[in-house]
Structure 1
Amino acid sequence: MALLLSEAFRPGKAIGASALGQDVLEAAGVPVPAPGVVLGDSGPAVLEQVTALPGSHRVWERFTAV
């Protein structure tokens, strides 16, 4: 699970989890809070927040401008 989460986070993919999953995210090296990392109290709440993110397939706010 840690590899899957880090592989999703590094290229800027959105990640959603229940609030109970925060420890799992942090153990995988995914900072919470972070742009595009969504926590919620229920599955529908998380889904609503993730689908509200820009549809660019990446969360560019995680990266610094070069």
Structure 2
Amino acid sequence: MSVSQDSFITDSTTIDCAPLVPEIRLQLATEVTPLWQATADSLEDANIEPPFWAFAWPGGQAPA
């Protein structure tokens, strides 16, 4: 991962508890819309997927 990708992730996320599994701490998006828009605007040309990694999806929390 490049420095700019590292910066993008750390600037767009914070370490927080997963809503359904509070004992698990994850690097999560602080605000959904700005992160999604930044990804669409900045990373679309690089063919990078939307930032699904930045959210604790309920389906992933259930098995945790």
- TM-score class normalised by the smaller sequence: under 0.3
TM-score by length of 2: 0.26
Greater per-residue helix proportion? 2
TM-score by length of 1: 0.26
Larger RCO, structure (CA 8 Å, separation 6 or more): 1
